[in-house]
Amino acid sequence: MSDTGQAPALWRQLQAGATALAAIRAGTSGTAAIEAVPILLRPGVQALVYAALRELGRAEALRQRLAPRKPPPAADALLCLALALGWREDGPYEAHTLVNQAVEAAKRTEATHAQASFINACLRRFLRERAALVAQTDADPVAQWNHPRWWIARLQREAPQQWQQILQANNRQAPMTLRVNVRRNSVADYLAQLQAAGITARRNGAYGLTLAAPLPVSQIPGFAEGRVSVQDAAAQLAAPLLLQGQEDRAGLRVLDACAAPGGKTAHLLELADAQVTALDVDPARCRRIEETLQRLGLQARVLAADAGQPAAWWDGQPFDAILLDAPCTASGIVRRHPDVRWLRRESDVAQLAAQQERLLRTLWPLLKPGGRLLYCTCSVFRSEGAEQIQAFLAHNKEARLLPSPGHLCPTLAPEGDAVTDNQLSDHDGFYYALLEKGAG
């Protein structure tokens, strides 16, 4: 950023954005790739890269037609970044400015300096032949939907009536939704406080408020004081589902088995005076849980431990309730993390489903008879949701499925015997199954 306080030049943002995109393509998470960007460039680069990730399928198809022989990774990342941002005539940047700045970024970057003329030629040709080149890619489903081919095919099989709606939702930017801490203020009172501060929001579920426009948390009234947290509306269903009818029960023992970063742990404690044990296998992520609880003025037993190895952390006393927010493909939060679609491989689905099955099988004996286990994933794939629970019920006759939301897909209402969802809500894709343990 210049000394005059002006925004960084577009070529600098493209330079940093291409580096981040190349890292993501090499397997780095979007979060880590953006954190590596210099802090003054970070907000603009994140917006630029996330926008490009939502158009990457189209960009790669266009690059294939402009340059069938794939260029080196750094040059390919910069070229695809520019194409992703510029292929639409109503894109975020004026076309010739974007091309000039992309070429400038190439010239000023050691890894792409030798390909600057090549990048210039490709982008100039694209400007001349834009309509024809775009039309040539329209028949490619990866270009049309900006998801991997296997992902599209899987949704077509599993959700034949909704797959287009799900993919369209994934390509939209997620809204910012807050969860009101009802220990500190009511939802209605906090909504009035936002309105008094000139912040437009609407109700979203029992505890949520979705902002008309996202804000830095530093600008959200009462955030630092723990009056509110940021949490998607679908994720806000977990705590009330697990606790329903037991909010006032004294001494309730609850396990949050995969708790980081602590949003659901905190919500449990906001709704009930429970004894909560929160686990995460990563000590650094456990610190995030503790920081979340500290901000909200809440306490839990936070342990860096593997939920799948209870001999290392369990005291032998069964739990009244268990929340298993299991590791998954994150296929339901693509609009919030657009890198996920490009990082996942089809083989990951079966591997993660096996891990989910092991966690369910391992944690079920830790639950009291009459207790409840809430299984959830932020996934839209049935093998991580309905199929997982169907198999579990078939092998555990003492388990009973209670009314649950089931698969919550973006833009879709729950199906079957489901908890009624707010039809006006805007939420990520999730799966929820509430299980009750019988006498055996």
SS (H, E, C) 272-325: CCCEEEEEECCHHHHHHHHHHHHHHCCCCEEEECCCCCHHHCCCCCCEEEEEEE
Furthest CA-CA distance within the chain: 73
Distance CA 34, CA 45 (A): 8
**3-class DSSP state for residue 432?**
strand
Calpha distance 82→401 (Å, rounded): 49
Instruction: Give the pairing type, strands 367-377 and 319-325.
Output: parallel
- The encoded tokens of residue 194 equal 């936002």
Residues that are catalytic: 378
Residue 367 pairs in a beta bridge with 319
**What is the sign of the dihedral through the CA atoms of 70, 72, 74 and 78?**
negative
Helix (H/G/I), strand (E/B), else coil: 327? coil
Neighbours of 325 (CB within 10 A): 21
Question: Does residue 261 have a cis bond before it (omega within 30 degrees)?
Answer: yes
Q: Of 12, 75, 76, 2, nearest to 44 (Cα)?
A: 12
